[in-house]
Amino acid sequence: MTIKDELVKARHRQDFKQLELAFESNYSRETISKVETGDRKYQPEMRRPFAESVDDPEFFFHTWEDAAGHVHIPYFDGDHIYQDPLALHHLVDQEAQEAMEKLDQVKWHKPHSSRSDVEKEEIKRLIYELLDAAASMVNLVAILCRDYGFSMKGLFKDWIITLKARRYKK
């Protein structure tokens, strides 16, 4: 699915009209219409204003870097993913437990420069487990934002401020 298709779906989910997007993004309604119908190419410089303007959790995942300036985490929409808090809570539990088990298996006292190729592959598998856990948690955040009407974009911006206040981030 293209980013223009994701934009249309996000606008419809949020009942956000082209005219509202035009006002928020500083592009004309005609330009937005042409982009959405494919009559005009979705330009790279459009990504950030559109990402910042459409406050939709799923669209946020597709435009993560543009909206928040951070690493992208995929939106979980696979055949075996259920978009409800309880199902995602279970997934978070499962993924976090797997990541913690892998973390506990690492011999942290051993310097990384002296690790064998096999041990480095184990570290790579650990990283994948950590990413799975993080992604499942952020997807749960998205579903909670959707269900409770919170702005995911707004919450992330506020959260970054709390990270700075706690000196986790400069």
Instruction: Report the predicted TM-score, pTM, of the whole model to 2 decimal places.
Output: 0.69
The C-alpha atoms of residue 30 and residue 35 are separated, in whole angstroms, by: 9
CATH classification for the domain delimited by 3-68, as one of 1.10.260.40, 1.10.10.10, 3.40.50.2300, 1.10.510.10 = 1.10.260.40
Please report, in tens digits, the pLDDT of each residue of the chain (170 residues total): 688 888 999 999 999 999 999 999 999 999 999 999 999 988 888 888 888 888 887 887 778 766 666 667 888 989 999 999 999 999 999 999 999 999 999 888 888 889 999 999 999 999 999 999 999 999 999 999 999 999 988 898 899 899 999 999 88
The C-alpha atoms of residue 132 and residue 147 are separated, in whole angstroms, by: 22
